[in-house]
Structure 1
Amino acid sequence: EAFSPQDATTNPSLILKAVQKPEYRTLLDDTVAQYRGRALDELTDRL
């Protein structure tokens, strides 16, 4: 594995742009459903 999570940075504006596209929207919906009721930082870490 060339990259690990510690090798990347999360840019919220890029995530927002991605989930606004129909082909990526299910990623957001699935993650929100899976982490509903948990802390927001857990949900955002999964995105």
Structure 2
Amino acid sequence: MELLSDELLEDTYLAAIQYNLEDDFIRMLLLEMKRRQLTKTGASNFN
């Protein structure tokens, strides 16, 4: 996960939401975004 840039991580998260991918995958991306303190994409909207 560390190999992804912040921008690519955010883009991947948004694409995963858009394409309705597995909740576990989206949750994994969200946890990494929170770890990196990335909040500009509204990541807190996913529970």
Calculate the TM-score normalised by the size of structure 2: 0.31
Which of these two proteins has the greater Rg computed from alpha carbons?
1
Higher helix share: 1
